[in-house]
Amino acid sequence: MANEDRKMKAVVAGWKWGANHLRAFAESEFCEVGGLWSRTDNAGARRVADLFHVPLYTDFDKMLAEVKPDVASIATPERAHEALTLSALQSGVHVYCEKVLSHTRESAQLMVDAAHEEGRLLNVGYNYRYSPSCVYLAEAIKAGKIGQPLFAHLRAFGFCIHHMTDYVNSLFGKPVRAVSVIDKAPLTDKPHPSSPDLVFPTFMYCALTMKTYMIQYESGATLMAGATDYSSALNPGATLLIEGSEGRLMLDDLSGKVTLLGNDRESTVYAPSQIRDSIGLRENCVLAVKDFARAVYEGDSAPIPGEAGVDMIALEEAVYKSADSDAWEMI
């Protein structure tokens, strides 16, 4: 799409979280929205389609044939990702797919391979990377403000630990092995309504009662992480400490304050602005989808390529396996 004047046509699969994807495409200077797909014709899906003035489809291939989109977002449960993504890629469409990339590593790899075969971008939706606070922290590390990163300590609400581990991967590089302790039993006193959909054949996405692990990276850095579904998502969603050879960084929530402490004993505090910054999970999603649209239009590589989604599944598999083996597992 590089150097073309016309706007790209965009479609979205999934009307719940997908409403944020539609908003991103509608606001993007590079796109116009062309259609919404839902598994069923229902009042909620029609409300979202009407909000963005697009037709509602229940046949995904028909939508692709009629709209002829340039880009598509897949915002459905994981087990539907592969079929929808492959249909879009094979129709010549670039795809933004929500995390987790798919329900198995083999399925996710098929999606990545198809993108390469079709010469199209496949981007995975790890949108926490777009939090203003997380962007500031990443830029501080890239600028050498704490020297060489040595270790990170992550505490998270159950759903956040997977996202935040991807974020640490983006800072530390390639993970090589993991060891874990996981309580795999479902909550009995107040079962989480989504928990059956978050335990996959070889890994689990959320923490359920408890999920703790240590990850070692190729660089020698280490991540120590822990999460539970007993804690509140709002108090806070995640905290992160990163210690380096010349200082440390502390993040007190996903869109919260970042403190930089250097060896000079001086501290720098960054806090996102309620007025100037996009703050919140929905806003992170909008920023991530917009960045994908920009990359497609300008002919750049995927901001978060599908391979990162496969790598996260491989990491989660090692974490899950280690809970049974009581030993380090290679990733």
Q: Strands 258-262 and 267-270, how do they pair? A: antiparallel
pTM of the predicted model, to two decimals? 0.94
**Longest CA–CA separation in the chain, Å:** 62
Q: How far is CA 163 from CA 38, 89, 238, 327, in A?
A: 25, 25, 10, 24
Contacts of 158 (CB under 8 A, 6+ apart): 192, 206, 207, 208, 211, 227, 228, 229, 231
Q: How far is CA 1 from CA 7, 8, 9, 35, 300, in A?
A: 9, 8, 11, 20, 10
What is the Cα–Cα distance from 239 to 156, expressed in whole angstroms? 6
Residue 306 token pair: 């599908």
Sheet containing 149-157, strands listed edge to edge, beginning at the edge strand earlier in sequence: 267-270, 258-262, 247-251, 238-244, 149-157, 222-228, 210-217, 175-183, 329-330
DSSP 22-55: HHHHHH-TTEEEEEEE-SS--HHHHHHHHHTT--
Question: What single DSSP character describes residue 219?
Answer: T
Q: Is 237 helix (H, G, I), strand (E, B) or coil?
A: coil
pLDDT at position 55 is 98
**CA 217, 110, 158, 72 torsion: positive or negative?**
positive
Would you say 101 and 205 are in contact if contact means Cβ atoms under 8 Å apart? Answer: no
pLDDT at position 266 is 76
Delineate the domains of the chain, giving CATH numbers in brackets: 8-120 (3.40.50.720), 129-277+314-330 (3.30.360.10)
Per-residue pLDDT of the chain in tens (331 residues, 90 and over written 9):
544 578 999 999 999 999 999 999 999 999 999 999 999 999 999 999 999 999 999 999 999 999 999 999 999 999 999 999 999 999 999 999 999 999 999 999 999 999 999 999 999 999 999 999 999 999 999 999 999 999 999 999 888 999 999 999 999 999 999 999 998 776 556 556 556 678 899 999 988 889 999 999 999 999 999 998 877 767 788 999 999 999 999 999 998 999 999 877 778 999 888 777 778 899 999 999 999 999 999 999 999 999 999 999 999 999 999 999 999 999 9
Q: How far apart are the first and last CA of the chain?
A: 36
